[in-house]
Amino acid sequence: MQPVETPHEQPLPPALAKITVTKLVTQTQRTDWTFSFTLTVASGGADVRTVSKANPSATWADLEPNRDYVLTETDPGVGWAEGEFACTVNGTAVVT
C-alpha cells in the first residue's frame, strides 16, 4: 500500500482591519464645516482625511491587525470647543 500524502494547510492571514471616524457637530450656527483627522502608524507613516458637514465620516481600510495606530484630530481653531470622544469596537464601547 502506498502512503497517502496529505496537503499541508497554510494558516490564513489575519483579516485586514479598518477604522472609521464620524464627526458630530452640534450647537453651531455655521452652515458648513470641515475638520481633519490623522491616522498614524506607530512605526511611522501618517494619512490625513478631512470630514465635512456633507461627508462627516472618513475610513481608513486595509489596516494590518495587531499594529498600533494613533488617531488624532487637527486643532479646529478659534471658535470651536472639544466635545466627548466615543470609541466602539465591533459595536462595543471602549474606554481609553
**DSSP per residue, 34-89:** EEEEEEEETTS-EEEEEEESSS-EEEEEEEPTT--EEEEE----TT-------EEE
Give yes or no for a contact between 70 and 40, defined as CB atoms under 8 angstroms apart.
yes
Give me 62's grid cell. 486595509
pLDDT of residue 51: 95
Q: Tens of pLDDT along 44-88?
A: 889 999 999 999 999 999 888 888 889 989 988 888 887 777 777
pLDDT of residue 42: 79
User: Cβ–Cβ contacts within 10 Å for residue 6, how many?
Assistant: 6
Q: Tens of pLDDT along 16-51?
A: 888 889 998 888 888 899 999 999 997 788 999 999
